[in-house]
Each structure stands twice: as structure tokens, then as C-alpha cells.
Amino acid sequence: MDAQVSDNSRSITIIGAGLAGALLATLLAQRGWSVDVYEKRGDPRVRGYAGGRSINLALAERGRHALRLAGADDAVMSHAVMMRGRMVHFADGRTDLQRYGRDDSEVIWSIHRGELNISLLDIAETAGARLHFDRGLVAADFDRHVATFADAGGGLLDVGFDSLVGADGAGSALRVAMAKREGLGERTENLGHGYKELEIPPGDDGSFRIEPNALHIWPRGRYMCIALPNDERTFTVTLFLPSHGEPSFDTVRNGAEARAFFERDFADASPLIPNLEQDFDSHPTGTLATLYLDLWHLGGDAVLLGDAAHAMVPFHGQGMNCAFEDCVALAEHLDNAPDRASAFAAFQAERLPNARAIQQMALENYLEMRDRVDNDDFLLQRALELELAARHPDRFVPRYSMVTFMRIPYATAFERGRVQRELLADVTRGHSSLDTIDRALADRLVTERLPPLGKSA
């Protein structure tokens, strides 16, 4: 027997008060929904953020737009550090700042994950959402519409629901419960590379030790380091390295070996990381994977979003941005559709192709960051790309910019990016410098192959 459920009720139960859960709670509560959020961990505002370490994320236009809609942009931006471009650190010690956009209106922002989560929780509560901490979902009964949660001591608690939204991250417990009911077509592709977080502390005078307004990259072919600034004048460094082979996390096994590896391959970064040995030994090695599902919802009973639906590799810095965009889309579909089953179906139809596109672009950007930034063909194509973008601002927009500074669907950015890449290859083939490029041909191909964005997007 079903519990009392009307498929057009305006009450919803969100699993996970991470980035997407807290934002979705706000958007729905602001629209007058009755919202309960269940979070496995404790309230970070009471006990301090779990892990304690400074982990930062790159916030781009898609994420900022969602934060603006929720009224959270000002609170978040007050601690953000601007990143104007990539600062590439070559093996010989030279550096080169490659701007991301046209000017300082096209930049990305480094924000502190813990502070962001706390701002979003405050705003969700102010909007009227009820937050329940130390409540981890362990099971969901979709016949009786009862969800079971475990508290911090392992005690179980049954709660009735109308619909569940899974914002419980890459290891989603709701996804597991849904898959018991119906096949979701789940596939996980491991990248075969892992990561380790390290820290650059402030200099002796308390200042940033390297350029603060950049995302630093040390490309080394098959692997790389990156560093993002924190507003307390530190940098969070991430080493991305294959899991196996030479070099890999199999051969760089501990702090001492990591120091020797950095002295050899990241010679300019090594002295900036005084606690490299301790950081390497005490921080876990993370794994990287892409999660694909064919089905994101069970009728009107449950739906997944964010990492729970489409975890991706980090190389475009879009996991959170995409999760926030999901929240806006789901809130709009819930508001406009006649019932929750059609809202969830419309949400999946809109977002699944876009998730696939950004997952693919994130994979591709690893190669670009670790390898191509340092390569002559790439630099020539990039130079022509910047020129064509300046001459045809409505038609030729670098893919990175479409993803990062615009809100056109990811799938559109992916498809136009493919057309542009072919065009650049066609026009630069056989050339080694911009001087000999046939500009008339380039201009003609741009108008033929790329309709103005305003109209097509």
C-alpha cells in the first residue's frame, strides 16, 4: 500500500547538504516548497568543516549565475580570489600567463569549499529549508515511500517522503537504492590517474609566494601539477599522476620519493612546498573517474543530480558549476511541469546530454593542460583562434570560453568546439607561423560553418 502521496505535492526530501543539495534546497524553499534536507555528516557550522584542510574550487559563470538566482553570490564572492588565466610553468623554469578571456570580465574565481558550503547552508535555512545533520541515507522503500537514515551512533530512523532528490555525491546511497528497484545503466570509467593535494604556505612576510591571480599549471606531458590561490595567501597544489607505470603512484610511493620526484620534474615548485613530505604521507591519494547513467529518475519517486548522476574528472573545473546548473534546471522543471514524474523526465532529457558533453570535455582538457599547452601546433592554432575570436566575436568563441564564461548548453559548446577545431586544423595545415595563414579562407570558413551564437544558442 502506498503512503499518502499526491504526485503534485510541493514537498520534497533532498539527500545530501553538500554543494548541490544546499543550493537546490534554497531555490525550492524560495519558490514556496516544503524542503527537508538529510546530510550524513555533522553541521560544519557547529564543529568546523570536516577534514579541516583548505580545499578550493574554481567558480565560473554557470555556477555564479545559479548563486545569483539564490541570492548567494555576494556572500561567496567576498572571499573569492580572481584567476585571470593559466600561469604555465615550463620544465626549464620559464613561465607564461595565458589569459582565459578577453579582459577581467572573463575570469574564474577560486573559492573555499568549506566557506561556500557554510554560506549555502545559512541561505537555505533562511529560505525556510529544514536541515537534518548526522542523518545518512541507508535505504529507500519506494512502495511505502519511507526512507531510512542512520544517525551518528548507528541508530536508524524511518521518514516518509513524497519524492527524494539525490544530491549525495559520487558515492550516492540513493543511487544504490534506486538501482535495486530498476537498472540505471550505471558505468564507471576510471581514468587510471590519481591525485594528491599539497600546500604552498604564505611567504615569510605573509604574502602569496607566487602570482595570486592565476591558476598555475606545471605541464609535464603524462602528468602535471596545478595550484589554486586561497584567500589566506596559501595555494592548494594538486599533483595529478598515473596510477601505474613510470612515473606513477606506484613508483612515487612516499614523501621522500615525492620530494626527489619534485626536485627532478617540478624544480621551481619544490622549494615552495616545505611540508611536501608530510603532506604526501598524510593526505590520501584520490582516484578519478567518470560516472555514466542512462536513467536519472524513478518516475516521480526519486531523481539524481550533480555528482550522484554524472561525476566527472576535474580537468575543466566544472563539476560544481554543472551541479549548480542542474539545480536551477530541476527547480524550474518542478515549478513548471504538471507533476513530479514529468518534471524529473524533462530534467533528465535536458541535462543528460549536457552532462555527457561536459564529461567528455573534462577528459579532453587533461590532455590540453598537461601536454598541449607546451606544444607548437597548439600554440599556432591558439594564436589563430584568438585572432578569429576577435574578428568574429559572435561566431568564433573558444570552447573554453563557451564552457566557462557563457551559459549555452554544454552540448552546444561541445559541437561548436568540434567545428572550430576542424576549421583551425584545415586553415593551419602545413603552416608554422601566423604570417602565411590565408585569412580570407579562414573568414569564409567561419561564416560558412559557424552560425552567429546569439541565434543558434
Which positions lie near ligand FAD, rule CB under 6 A?
A: 15-21, 38-41, 55, 57-58, 136-137, 167-169, 173, 306-308, 314, 317-321, 323
Provide φ and ψ at 219, rounded to 5°: -80, 135
15: partner contacted, choices ligand FAD, ligand 8RB, none (Cβ within 5-8 A by kind): ligand FAD
30: partner contacted, choices ligand FAD, ligand 8RB, none (Cβ within 5-8 A by kind): none
The least CB distance from residue 427 to ligand FAD, in Å, is 33
Instruction: Give the binding site for ligand 8RB (CB under 6 A).
Output: 58, 86, 108, 195, 215, 226, 228, 238, 286, 314-317, 365, 369
Q: Which is nearer to ligand FAD, 228 or 252 (CB)?
A: 228
The least CB distance from residue 199 to ligand 8RB, in Å, is 13
Residue closest to ligand 8RB, measured at CB: 317
| CA separation for the pair 193, 250 (Å, rounded) | 11
18: partner contacted, choices ligand 8RB, ligand FAD, none (Cβ within 5-8 A by kind): ligand FAD
Q: Which is nearer to ligand 8RB, 302 or 373 (CB)?
A: 373
Q: Which is nearer to ligand FAD, 98 or 238 (CB)?
A: 238
The least CB distance from residue 59 to ligand FAD, in Å, is 7
The least CB distance from residue 16 to ligand FAD, in Å, is 3
The least CB distance from residue 204 to ligand FAD, in Å, is 28
Q: Which is nearer to ligand 8RB, 233 or 449 (CB)?
A: 233
The least CB distance from residue 39 to ligand 8RB, in Å, is 21
315: partner contacted, choices ligand 8RB, ligand FAD, none (Cβ within 5-8 A by kind): ligand 8RB
